[in-house]
């Protein structure tokens, strides 16, 4: 149990950038894209969005979940600086696997709040769908830009690297419980039936996909309604058919991430320095109010639940806020159950009632309790390290009212992002738009 | 007086299994048992723990059945099994495999949670043994 202290000075996100999430090797126009090109695009877009020049940025944080496997790099931060005008600047690489993009904000905010830097870039890139060619092993010499598709079978082999080699892999249960533990916990503690859980899981997929269908950056835009129609089925029939097979005890295929390629970045600045540094500022700064964090190794029972409870407790204790203060919620839902479980733990949805909100479509982008307005990991896509910053991108755009066709109905002011990943790190990031008079 | 030791805890644990012993580590200050064994006490923060043979008696608090994503071909040797939260008699809780649970008896067993079970030593492919749990005959 940790108690968070207040930052030494206010820190804000002032610009964001994000590539489309995509299967690069599947399309001639994206096949051959490299790490520098993806990270560089996201970084420059974030700088443009913030109205800053690369020379104004003091330092950058670089996230990539699996750099040796995905990029054949040990120090991926060093290899990309020249692409966005920061040659020679200091940087650091970090990986917390699927939680990287959320802790990317944590690291950047801490660096600025301490007073060491006034303005930093924090970005992440991942090729979750391909590896440098030839994809035989990490030791063989690689082509400068060609990549080979990474099969799900190979990907699942690399995910074993997320788990403790000494005990957890040997005991077998920790790494396998990631798929269904949260669903079992929810069913047992809320007293709902397996059928009701099945409906909730399906509706999270449907809502995520509806959100992605109107987001230009998302990977998969075909709604489940349209897929059901094509198959000559009702939506309910389709979601419970072999088109959406059971892959876990509760989990169906539609509730599993779409691993893909992408990058995202944000510019993080001391709020007091914004008028000096961001001379072409386009939006109101979004203050990072606090970030709770916890990590439970996979042998810990109900690791996701326990770590989320602790991270949320920390940030609410720090800020005096509660779920009632949240206008928007994002959950890293590479296993879609996360979406329901974390929203209830954060108090964004009422205890034991969240599954009904989901089944009624109230958590879609146009509902009164929007969750994962970009489409989440099962539809926006999951470029592992970059996903958290893609959620930061979406949250900021929603808070700025810049989401166009999928702008939520009531202008939001406060958002929580629940990061999760890396067997298992959890972060609870609380963001709030600064009022005009506070700038 | 104890002192912090650079010690082969992992190897000792696995060698213990070869001899039929299931070893954890007990905190001399607060009595907490760490299982699987590690250096420090995660309950009170004491730097050191001491070897302790666990009784093997335990309770199962949750049941998740294996499926396509959550099983591997080599798990076949387990027979019918589930994953769940196991609480050792000594108080430690961990995620573990529990044998004797299947689709057939899952509903009946879920209604009776927590269930009594006990630790067993299981031969893994790869030339080492590990710990799984078996449901007690008497509940």
Give pLDDT tens digits for A349-389: 999 999 999 999 999 999 999 999 999 999 999 999 999 99
Identify the CA nearest to A86 among candidates A36, A129, A135, A134: A36
Distance from CA of A245 to the nearest CA of B (A): 10
What are the beta bridge partners of residue A263? A125
Phi, psi of B97 (to 5 degrees): -85, 135
pLDDT for A79-127, tens place per residue? 999 999 999 999 999 999 999 999 999 999 999 999 999 999 999 999 9
CB A173 to CB B69 under 8 A?
no
CA B52 to chain centre: 14
B75-95 burial, b if ≥16 CB within 10 A, otherwise e?
Answer: beebeebbbbbbbbebebbbb
CB B95 to CB A177 under 8 A?
yes
Tell me the average pLDDT across A148-166: 91
| Cβ contacts of A296 on chain B, cutoff 8 Å | none
The alpha carbon dihedral of A83, A85, A87, A88 has a sign of negative
B8 in reach of chain A (CB within 8 A)? no
What percentage of chain A carries pLDDT values higher than 90?
94
| Cβ contacts of B10 on chain A, cutoff 8 Å | 166-167
Q: Which of A166, A249, A298 is facing B95, going by the closest CB pair? A: A298
Token pair in block for residue B17: 């299994």
Is 60 exceeded by the pLDDT of residue B1?
Answer: no
A9-30 burial, b if ≥16 CB within 10 A, otherwise e?
Answer: ebbbbbbbbbbbbbbbbeeeeb
The alpha carbon dihedral of A45, A46, A51, A53 has a sign of negative
CB B70 to CB A176 under 8 A?
yes
Residue B65's region, left for phi above 0, alpha for psi from -120 to 50, else beta, is: beta
Q: What is the model's pLDDT at position A229?
A: 98
Is 80 exceeded by the pLDDT of residue A439?
Answer: no
Tell me the average pLDDT across A315-343: 98
Q: What is the model's pLDDT at position B138?
A: 83
**Strands across the sheet with B50-53, in order?**
B33-34, B23-26, B50-53
Distance from CA of A178 to the nearest CA of B (A): 8
Among B17, B34, B64, B117, most A C-beta atoms within 10 A, so best to mutate, is B64
Q: Identify the band that residue A410 occupies on the pLDDT scale cut at 50, 70 and 90.
A: very high
CB B67 to CB A247 under 8 A?
yes
What 3-state DSSP class applies to A297? coil
| Cβ contacts of B36 on chain A, cutoff 8 Å | 166-167, 171, 299
Q: Which of A170, A248, A301 is facing B95, going by the closest CB pair? A: A301
| Cβ contacts of A302 on chain B, cutoff 8 Å | 62, 85
Q: Which of B75, B85, B96 is facing A302, going by the closest CB pair? A: B85
Tell me the average pLDDT across A235-257: 98
In chain B, residues 93-132 whose CB comes closer than 8 Å to chain A: 93-97, 110, 113, 124, 128, 130-132
Query: What ranges in A96-180 are assigned the alpha helix state H?
Result: 100-113, 152-159, 168-171, 173-176
| Number of neighbours of residue A157 by Cβ within 10 angstroms | 11
pTM for the whole structure: 0.97
CB A177 to CB B128 under 8 A?
no
Mapped to the 3 state alphabet, what secondary structure does B62-127 carry?
CCECCCCCCCCHHHHHHCCEEEEEEEECCCCEEEEEEECCCHHHHHHHHHCCCEEEEEEEEEECCC
Tell me the average pLDDT across A329-343: 98
Average model confidence (pLDDT) across chain A: 96
- To the nearest 5 percent, what fractions of chain B are helix, strand and coil? 20, 35, 45
Q: Which of B62, B93, B128 is facing A184, going by the closest CB pair? A: B62
B36 in reach of chain A (CB within 8 A)? yes
Taking CB atoms and an 8 Å cut-off, how many pairs form between chains A and B? 88
Q: Name the CA dihedral angle for A242, A247, A252, A253, rounded to a multiple of 10 degrees.
A: -80
Helix axes A303-319, A337-345, angle to 10 degrees: 40
CB A180 to CB B94 under 8 A?
no
| Cβ contacts of B97 on chain A, cutoff 8 Å | 171-173
> What CA–CA distance (Å, rounded) separates A98 from A385?
5
> What CA–CA distance (Å, rounded) separates A274 from B92?
50
What are the beta bridge partners of residue A293? A427
pLDDT for A5-18, tens place per residue? 999 999 999 999 99
Is 90 exceeded by the pLDDT of residue B139?
Answer: no
Q: Identify the DSSP state of A325.
A: G
The alpha carbon dihedral of A24, A25, A27, A33 has a sign of positive
Q: What is the model's pLDDT at position A241?
A: 98
Phi, psi of B98 (to 5 degrees): -125, 120
pLDDT for A206-234, tens place per residue? 999 999 999 999 999 999 999 999 999 99
Residue A321 · residue A313 · CB < 8 Å: no
Token pair in block for residue A258: 């779409």
> What CA–CA distance (Å, rounded) separates A197 from A249?
11
Q: What is the model's pLDDT at position A246?
A: 97
Tell me the average pLDDT across A57-70: 97
Is 80 exceeded by the pLDDT of residue A438?
Answer: no
Residue of B nearest to A169 (CA): B130
Is 80 exceeded by the pLDDT of residue A76?
Answer: yes
> What CA–CA distance (Å, rounded) separates B118 from B98?
9
Q: What is the model's pLDDT at position A91?
A: 98
Q: What is the ipTM of this complex?
A: 0.96
Distance from CA of A95 to the nearest CA of B (A): 24
Residue of B nearest to A173 (CA): B96
Strand pairing report for A130-132 and A59-63: unpaired
Q: Which of B69, B75, B84 is facing A248, going by the closest CB pair? A: B69
| Cβ contacts of A174 on chain B, cutoff 8 Å | 95
Identify the CA nearest to A201 among candidates A354, A329, A415: A354
Is 90 exceeded by the pLDDT of residue B27?
Answer: yes
- Residue-range domains of chain A with CATH: 11-159+258-277 (3.40.47.10)
Surface-to-core class of residue A366, CB atoms within 10 Å of its CB (0-12 exposed, 13-18 middle, 19+ buried): middle
Q: Identify the band that residue A436 occupies on the pLDDT scale cut at 50, 70 and 90.
A: low
CB A166 to CB B10 under 8 A?
yes
| Cβ contacts of A1 on chain B, cutoff 8 Å | none
């Amino acid at each position: 149990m940790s108690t968070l202290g207040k930052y030494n000075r206010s820190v804000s996100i002032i610009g964001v950038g994000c590539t489309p999430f995509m299967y690069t090797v599947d399309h001639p126009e994206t096949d051959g894209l490299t790490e520098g090109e993806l990270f560089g695009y996201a970084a420059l877009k974030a700088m443009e969005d913030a109205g800053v020049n690369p020379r104004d940025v003091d330092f950058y944080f670089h996230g990539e979940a699996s750099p040796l496997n995905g990029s054949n790099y040990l120090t991926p931060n060093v290899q990309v600086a020249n692409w966005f005008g920061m040659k020679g600047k200091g940087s650091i690489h970090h990986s917390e696997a699927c939680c990287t993009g959320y802790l990317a904000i944590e690291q950047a905010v801490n660096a600025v709040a301490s007073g060491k830097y006034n303005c930093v870039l924090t970005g992440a890139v991942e090729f979750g769908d391909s590896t440098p060619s030839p994809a035989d092993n990490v030791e063989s010499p690689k082509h400068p830009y060609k990549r080979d598709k990474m099969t799900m079978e190979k990907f699942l082999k690399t995910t074993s690297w997320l788990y403790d080699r000494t005990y957890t892999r040997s005991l077998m249960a920790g790494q396998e419980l990631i798929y269904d533990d949260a669903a079992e916990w929810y069913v047992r503690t809320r007293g709902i039936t397996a059928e009701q859980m099945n409906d909730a899981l399906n509706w999270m997929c449907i809502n995520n996909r509806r959100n992605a269908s109107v987001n230009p950056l998302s990977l998969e835009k075909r709604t489940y309604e349209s897929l059901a129609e094509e198959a000559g089925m009702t939506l309910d029939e389709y979601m419970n058919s072999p088109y959406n097979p059971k892959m876990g005890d509760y989990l169906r295929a539609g509730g599993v991430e779409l691993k893909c390629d992408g990058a995202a970045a944000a510019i993080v600045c001391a709020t007091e320095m914004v008028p000096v540094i961001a001379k072409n500022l386009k939006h109101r700064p979004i203050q990072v109010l606090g970030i709770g964090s916890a990590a439970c190794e996979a042998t810990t029972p109900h690791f996701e639940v326990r770590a989320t409870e602790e991270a949320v407790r920390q940030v609410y204790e720090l800020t005096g806020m509660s779920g009632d203060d949240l206008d928007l919620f994002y959950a890293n839902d590479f296993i879609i159950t996360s979406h329901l479980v974390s929203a209830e733990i954060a108090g964004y949805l009422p205890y034991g009632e969240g599954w009904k909100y989901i089944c009624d479509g109230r958590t879609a982008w146009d509902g009164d309790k929007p969750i994962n307005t970009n489409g989440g990991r099962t539809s926006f896509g999951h470029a592992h390290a970059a996903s958290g910053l893609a959620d930061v991108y979406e949250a900021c755009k929603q808070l700025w009212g810049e989401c166009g066709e999928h702008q939520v109905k009531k202008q939001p002011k406060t958002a929580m992002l629940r990061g999760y990943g890396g067997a298992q790190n959890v972060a609870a990031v609380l963001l709030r738009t600064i009022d005009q008079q506070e700038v | 007086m104890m002192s912090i030791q650079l010690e082969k805890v992992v190897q000792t644990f696995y060698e213990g299994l070869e001899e039929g012993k299931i070893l954890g580590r007990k905190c001399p200050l607060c009595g907490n048992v760490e299982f699987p064994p590690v250096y420090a006490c995660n309950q009170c923060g004491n730097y050191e723990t001491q070897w302790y043979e666990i009784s093997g008696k335990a309770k199962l608090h949750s049941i998740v059945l294996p499926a396509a994503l959550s099983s591997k071909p080599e798990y076949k040797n387990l027979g019918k099994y589930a994953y769940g939260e196991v609480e050792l008699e000594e108080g430690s809780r961990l995620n573990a495999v529990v044998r004797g649970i299947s689709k057939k008896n899952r509903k009946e067993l879920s209604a009776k949670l927590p269930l009594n079970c006990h630790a067993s030593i299981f031969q893994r492919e790869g030339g080492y043994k590990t710990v799984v749990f078996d449901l007690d005959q008497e509940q």
